[in-house]
Amino acid sequence: MNHAPDPARERALGGVYAFTAYLLWGFLPLYFLTLAPTGPWEIVAWRILLSLVFCAVLLSVTRSWGAFGRIIRQPRLLLWTALAGAVIYVNWQVFLIATLSGHVIETSLGYFINPIFTVILGVLVLRESLRMTQWIAIGISALAVGVIVVGYGTFPWIALTLAASFGVYGLVKKQIGPRVDAVSGLTLESFWLAPVAIGQLVAVSFASGLTFGTAGVWNAVLLSLAGVATATPLLFFAAGARRVPLTVIGLLQFIAPIMQFITGAWILGEPMPLERWIGFGLVWVALSVLTIDQLLYSRRHRGVSDVAPIT
């Protein structure tokens, strides 16, 4: 006899899944740094191609090719997945270039800013109205960027590009909704990007030579796991997002940038002058305002959950 799933157990399980996803995302900078001397362009290319292979294996193991076939017969969904692929490509490439050039702290800033950028997208694209506390959070974030630009002397293009690309990616995935499952979505995104990946491998081979298979066994093993490292957190997130409310996801999403910040500041020893501390401090204040506002709003509208899957 079939029993309905226990809601409390499902929520607890979903929390564990989502926590695991963000924990794995938080470790990504350290994983990519172990791939030296492989450069960012080659890593992203292998990440795309090996993700495609890994997802194809998953579709076979789970016997999900039928559902995948129904998706590819819908041109509108194919266009959405192509757009998602293009945006996540920008995110992956910028993230790898930043990580391997000593800017892990700035990548963490991008993912700290991401929730605020998502709110801005809601206003500009979805015509949503903002509450006063959300406007305050956006204002504090703008001030933080200004402090970093003026005080630190550089424009945080890495952080803003990561926040913008990941925010748009989340918006696209929201438009797709449950019509495309996580594995099928990543399969299609990787498929659209495969020609780009092949082109990058050809370019790297002529420019400096490919490292896959020429930089030692350990490098080859780790690089061959790029597809697994890409898809696994996504699958954990998808399993968690279906089981827990948006507020839980909103709180857990700070795990990854916190770990990236710790990696950059304390493990890799990247510089954190006073201006950067002030800028980050303002961002954290803005996030606190935004989080408290979301918790209070959700308490007043308990039972309403709208989770957009992201990668």
What digits encode the pLDDT tens for the residues 117-158?
878 887 788 777 778 888 888 888 888 888 888 776 778 899
CA distance 93 to 44: 6
pTM: 0.86
Give the phi and the psi of residue 112 in degrees, each rounded to 5: -70, -40
Region 277-292: what's the mean pLDDT? 87
Q: Is the pLDDT of residue 310 over 50?
A: no
Instruction: For residue 216, give both structure tokens.
Output: 């030692």
Q: What is the mean pLDDT of the chain?
A: 85
**Mean pLDDT confidence for 270-285:** 88
Give 247 or 230, the one with higher predicted confidence: 230
DSSP at 54: H
- Among the listed ranges 56-70, 237-251, 253-267, 277-291, which one has the minimum average pLDDT value? 237-251
Q: Give the domain range for residue 293.
A: 18-300
pLDDT band of 244, cuts 50, 70, 90:
confident
pLDDT per position as a tens digit, 4-56: 667 777 778 888 888 898 899 899 999 999 998 999 999 999 999 999 999 99
Dist. CA 145–CA 115, nearest whole Å: 15
Average pLDDT of span 236-262: 79
pLDDT of residue 3: 59
* 288 within a domain of the structure (yes/no): yes
Please name the residue that has the structure tokens 């770990």. Answer: 259
Report yes or no on 162 lying in a domain: yes
What was the pLDDT predicted at 301?
Answer: 62
Phi-psi region at 160: left, alpha or beta (left = phi > 0; alpha = psi -120 to 50): alpha
Q: For residues 158 and 107, is the Cβ–Cβ distance under 8 A?
A: yes
Where is pLDDT greater, at 214 or 240?
214
**310, part of any domain:** no
Least confident of 41-50, 80-89, 103-112, 236-245: 236-245
Candidate from 56-60, 69-73, 144-148 with smallest mean pLDDT: 144-148
Instruction: State the DSSP code for 27.
Output: H
Overall number of domains in the chain: 1
Burial class for 101, CB neighbours closer than 10 Å (0-12, 13-18, 19+)? exposed
- Residue 273 CA to residue 276 CA, distance in Å, equals 5
Ramachandran area for residue 58 (φ above 0: left; ψ -120 to 50: alpha; else beta): alpha
Identify the top-confidence range among 105-109, 142-146, 290-294: 105-109
**Segment of 121-130, 285-294, 300-309 carrying the highest mean pLDDT:** 285-294
Residue 3 lies inside a defined structural domain of this protein: no
Helix 132-152 × helix 104-124 angle, to 10°: 140
Sign of CA dihedral 121, 124, 127, 132: positive
307: pLDDT confidence band, cut at 50, 70 and 90? Answer: very low
The answer to whether residue 7 sits within a structural domain is no
Q: Closest Cα to residue 193, out of 54, 303, 69, 45?
A: 45
Distance CA 167, CA 91 (A): 10
Name, of 174-183, 263-272, 301-310, the range with top average pLDDT.
Answer: 263-272
Q: Residue 2: pLDDT above 70? A: no
Residue percentage of the chain with pLDDT more than 90: 45
Tell me, yes or no, whether 307 lies in a domain.
Answer: no
Q: Report how far residue 45's alpha carbon sits from residue 30's, in angstroms, rounded to the nearest whole number.
A: 18
The answer for 117, left when phi > 0, alpha when psi is -120 to 50, beta otherwise, is alpha
CA-to-CA distance for 142 and 117, rounded, in angstroms?
Answer: 11
- DSSP one-letter code for 129: P
Task: Please check whether residue 229 is in contact with residue 9, taking contact to mean a CB–CB distance below 8 angstroms.
Answer: no
Q: Is 52 helix (H, G, I), strand (E, B) or coil?
A: helix
d(C-alpha 211, C-alpha 213), whole Å: 6
What is the reported pLDDT for 90?
96
Residue 34, domain member (yes or no): yes
For residue range 159-200, what is the model confidence (pLDDT) as tens digits? 999 999 988 888 888 788 778 888 888 899 999 999 999 999
Report d(CA 279, CA 141) in Å as an integer: 9
Would you state the pLDDT for residue 72?
Answer: 92
Give the other-Cβ count within 10 Å of 201's Cβ: 18
Residue 248 placed within a domain: yes
Closest CA to 87 of 207, 238, 192, 157: 192
